[in-house]
Structure 1
Amino acid sequence: MPMSSSHSPVTTMSATTNCCSSVRCATWGCSAPGDHAAGRSGAPEPPRSTRRVRRRICAAYIRRRTMPITELDQRLTGQIVLSNRTYERLRALTALGTRFPGTPGERAAQRFILDELRAAGLDPTIEEFEHLAWERGSASLSVTAPVTRKLLCISLAGAPSTPAGGIDGEILYLGNGTPAEFDRHKDAIRDRIVLVTSLAPRQECSPPRQCHRRTKYGRAVQYGAKAFLFMNSQPGMLPQAGSTRQNREGEIPAVTIPFEDGEVLKSLLKAGPVSVHLEATNRNYPHTTGNIVAELPGTDPDHVVLVGAHYDSHDNAVGAIDNGTGVVTVLELARLLSESGVRLRRTIRFVLFAVEEMASVGSSFYVNRHRDHLDQIDLFMNIDGIGQQGAKTFDTQGFDDAADFILDVAKDIDYEMTIPNPAFSGDSLAFVMGGVPTAAMKGSKLRSLFGHQNLSTGEDRGWGHTSADTFDKVEQHALHEAAIIAALTLIRAADHPTRMARTRTKAEVDAILRETGMDTVLSFMQWPSIDVRPKE
């Protein structure tokens, strides 16, 4: 859809042409023949014959296009690729170490973000809140029968300590911990130590949060388990961290173990009962932190597009993919739009959320704090874990009018997107619960700008929440692609002539949750513990 007339339009080719998109023309440097943008960022310069063909394609594209696209589109796209600021900023952010709440790395990340926003000419503030923080102590897990063997483990965040001397119990393996597997064995769970994998198989987990770690933990608690073992489904001797409850201590001890040690337990279980001994010491304490907020004013101050990313990571990871990629993407959007001098209709609010990894605490406090003004937020764009290769799309969380807007954007920029089934993940959920139209960037199997394929099944986290979520795992061009699509979507949302999607009432939100099965998920998660419901 066209941008407002306050920007100088140029023409690009028809949205029905598949050989080149408006985004590709900017990336290929069509406005400056022979200047290959990707080559400047480190990729090899294509042969002269290839550059000649690309220029002819783009020239034809420009002649045939009837839908306007602004100079701002081309400027943002070119600067994202040519400057490579997102990638280098990610290198610097991950060098700070873990950004887990209460650690020196969290404070260093706050200073880093504030400095970047100020350098972009913005005036950021910190909206402070106090929450229940958690500190990991020691944990040990040993097989005591039919053999003796020590296993690698770390506690899940928010889990309580074991009683003095630890706990002993018999393992009950429930596979991937799907609702069906828990239901089949619910009468056998009491006083057992439940073992599940981290996998969330698509066919059995709809919505995907039915097989989220916190849902599995909640089921184990409700059915009377003595403790909870969470096995990474990906090999590499990597325990996969994660949280148990939001802003309160969990009910039973919980540890995560690597794939290989989980396979040891599964192998022993084939021969008969397996007993283990578990000890863990952890600490909860009150901690003050904050969400970082900056604004780029629009011509209509009563309407806002909010774009956000969480800046924390787990304490076993530097969180390059999750969510360093989201942080640096939001910072780049803030820099580029601030330096452009453009003023769009809606105010753009950039928010870097704290404590997402502890069950979306920061975004929940944000929604709670702004409950009287949630109807001013026309769209929340969540950028989380987007650094893996492949195309991008947006999950609109069951908001059909937000989905229509995203598909209109896709058509306008000639970038293929389909809307996935709602996942209600991360910071998106707090805004959905508040009735705010939401679009969360996700990976897609469709055509990528840079020719890369998304190989993820979406059924597990890959490197996420492990010590292997490091800078080298982020694909440079995937980060560029995410920033480009986020930028082009953001400016269309901010300058849309009418409201893209309407705020939902509490009753309408409840209907979405029921229709998608999220009401059951939230009951097992016992989420939220912070009030995020809209005021009636």
Structure 2
Amino acid sequence: MTEWIGDTFTSDVGWNHLEALADVGNRMAGSDGERAGLELTRDAFAAVGARNARIEAFEIQGWERGDSAVSRDGDTLAAGDGSCIALPRSPDATATGELVDVGYGTPEEFESAAAEIEDSIVVVSTTVPDEFDRFVHRREKYYRAVDAGAAGFVFANHVEGGLPPTGSIGSETEPIGAIPAVGVSKEAGARLTRRYEGEEVTVDIDCATPDATSGTAFAELGPDTDEYLLVSSHVDAHDIAEGAMDNGAGTATIVEVARALADREGELETRVRFAAFGAEEVGLVGSSKTADGVDPGAVGAVVNVDSNVFGRTLKLDHHGFDELEAAGERLRERFDHPVALGGEIVPHSDHWPFVQRGIPGYMVSGETEDRGRGWGHTAADTLDKLDVRNLREQSILLTALVVDLGREGVSVDRGDTDRIAAELESTGAATGMKLTGDWPFRSK
């Protein structure tokens, strides 16, 4: 039967849900907008025929944006005019120090500039050089600045267009960061370092840190088997944009997959559990709470969808699970459609709390040519960047992938966490994870 393919390629369910999420506006973790997004997603699951659609709430550290600026002797150099924004989980604080440009913020650059960093305002880029062997996450750069004694942190976008970047800098154990941190546009960052490097500047942030409530929207399809597949996304987004790509797209996609699977429910041989997590952007909080409560042996595989649709080619990072790689190859061959497969360990997004426990999992995204987030985490993450064709095509592919993974006889072995840890060590990612408190493995 192939009718479901035509039905999915002409369905408006996923795209309509994407529009609804984008129109919510601010879906910051713990906000009224995030709650609205969770409710929309719960209701969408129920509307397509998934059972037991619900929201399970949990408490988080909230964060609410106020004004922020970089100034010198009372003159504003970058502010809320589209050139400067506070990074979520920054403290409500002011810091003054000499402006020090640490380039891309690689470990080697921080080491080279160590003597200049203490009590300074550090500026680093959002990207790394093309020849650098790994991507250095924002939080690793922030923690390196903190450990070196910096007074403040400036995160300068590498994407043109007057787009200051956002992104949380807190950790699970220390949800509010130690020093004030702002994101500035590429243009503002270049102007700051050209004109004021070596001079005293001030970073000033006004924000609130109330207690807040987030949650996860769940639903199920298929037979009531003990083992299940987990199909996931995250609903929350940063408060400066629509969060269309990151991650309205992923949530809309799993709603469309749920619609397609509901029509094929009789073919499912394994239960499929859907989870649209909250509070991903502030430390994978929702997925971590769910992962902490599961029996690892009961989760056949995780299919986590985050930041797709912008790129047409579906990318499946399989984290070295051979059976997941094989399923991706079968998918590519069956549909004669481009599907990019990657074996690199991706310790970010909502698959990670499961994968780090040895549970097989994909990080599903859209392949792009550029390194980094592109429009993501900026005010330009808006619906007009996305294409309904891509959402429909990717929903078809993921529906087929889930049915394949759930078939009797398809078994994915649990992962060797020593292998996962060793691969992170070999790429250098472990160093940053240990620095930020995100290393989940025991040292031998």
TM-score normalised to structure 1 length: 0.77
CA distance in structure 1 between the partners assigned to 2:106 and 2:394 by the alignment: 32
Q: Deviations over 1:214-268 (max 9, x none)?
A: 1111111111111110011112222111000234111111111111111101222
Match 1:400 to one of 293, 313, 322: 322
Pair 1:514 & 2:438 matched: no
Q: Report the CA distance shift for 1:418/1:327 in structure 2 as closer, same or farther (over 3 A).
A: closer
| Residue 139, structure 1, aligned to residue 68, structure 2 | yes
Residues 341 and 417 of structure 1: CA distance in aligned 2, closer, same or farther (over 3 Å):
closer
Q: Give the secondary structure class of the aligned counterpart of 2:365.
A: strand
SS at match of 2:315: strand
* 1:382 lines up with 2:304 in the alignment: yes
* Cα distance change on mapping 1:129 and 1:202 into 2, 3 Å: farther
Tell me the C-alpha RMSD between the 2 structures.
2.1
Aligned to 1:354: 278
> How many residues are treated as equivalent by the alignment?
434
What is residue 362 of structure 2 aligned with on the other side? Answer: 439
- Determine the structure 1 residue equivalent to 2:396: 484
After superposition, give the CA deviation of every residue in 1:429-450 in whole Å (9 maximum; x if it has no partner): 2122121111111333xxxxxx
Q: Distance in 2 between matches of 1:76 and 1:246?
A: 43
In structure 2, the partner of 1:89 is 17
State the secondary structure of the residue aligned to 1:200.
Answer: coil
Report if aligned partners of 1:303, 1:377 keep a CA contact under 8 Å in 2: yes
CA distance in 2, matches of 1:127, 1:140: 37
Asked whether the equivalents of residues 200 and 212 of structure 1 are also in contact (C-alpha less than 8 Å), the reply is no
CA contact (8 A) 2:227 2:300 kept: yes
CA gap 1:515/1:76 in 2 versus in 1, 3 angstroms:
farther
Residue pair 1:434, 1:533 contacting (<8 A) in 2 also? no
Name the aligned partner's letter for residue 488 of structure 1.
A
Q: How many angstroms does 1:274 deviate by?
A: 2.6
Q: Equivalent residues in 2 for 1:69-468 (5 A)?
A: 71=1, 74-121=2-49, 122-144=51-73, 148-152=75-79, 153-162=84-93, 166-206=94-134, 208=135, 211-247=136-172, 248-269=175-196, 273-298=198-223, 301-370=225-294, 373-420=295-342, 421-444=344-367, 454=368, 456-457=369-370, 459-468=371-380
Deviation at 1:294, TM superposition (A): 0.8
SS in 2 for 1:214: helix
Instruction: Tell me how far apart the structure 1 counterparts of residues 428 and 354 of structure 2 sit (CA, whole Å).
Output: 18
SS of 1:419's partner is: strand
Q: Secondary structure at the match of 2:422?
A: helix
The answer as to whether partners of 1:428 and 1:440 remain within 8 angstroms in 2 is yes
Cα distance in 2, alignment partners of residues 432 and 533 from structure 1: 12
TM-score between both structures, scaled by the size of structure 2: 0.92
Q: Distance in 2 between matches of 1:507 and 1:521?
A: 18
Structure 2 counterpart SS, 1:519:
helix
Partner Cα distance (2:314, 2:73) in 1: 48
CA contact (8 A) 1:233 1:460 kept: no
Give SS of 2:281's match: helix
Name the SS of the counterpart of 1:479 in structure 2. Answer: helix
* 1:307 to partner: Cα distance: 0.7
8 A contact 1:379–1:438 mirrored in 2: yes
1:516 positional shift: 3.5
Letter in 2 for 1:477: R
Q: SS at 1:294's partner residue?
A: strand
CA contact (8 A) 2:237 2:246 kept: yes
Contact 1:389 1:477 in 2 (8 A): no
Distance 1:111 1:245 in 2: 26
* Residues in 1 aligned to 2:278 and 2:405: alpha-carbon distance in whole angstroms: 25
Structure 2 letter corresponding to 1:127: E
Q: Amino acid of the residue matched to residue 149 of structure 2?
A: G
Could you tell me which amino acid in structure 2 is paired with residue 437 of structure 1? P
Asked whether the equivalents of residues 297 and 347 of structure 1 are also in contact (C-alpha less than 8 Å), the reply is yes
The match for 2:387 is: 475
Q: Would the alpha carbon gap of residues 217 and 398 (structure 1) be closer, same or farther in structure 2, given more than 3 Å must change? A: farther
Check whether the contact 1:246–1:360 (CA below 8 A) recurs between aligned residues: no
Assess, with a 3 A threshold, how the Cα gap between structure 1 residues 186 and 294 changes in structure 2: closer, same or farther: same
Q: Between 152-161 and 421-430, report the one with greater CA deviation.
A: 421-430
| Amino acid of the structure 2 residue aligned with 1:433 | Q
Q: Percent identity?
A: 31
Most deviating of 111-120 and 313-322: 111-120
Contact 2:77 2:192 in 1 (8 A): no
Rounded Cα–Cα distance in structure 1 between residues aligned with 2:340 and 2:45: 33
Deviates more, 1:351-360 or 1:89-98: 89-98
SS at 1:246's partner residue? coil
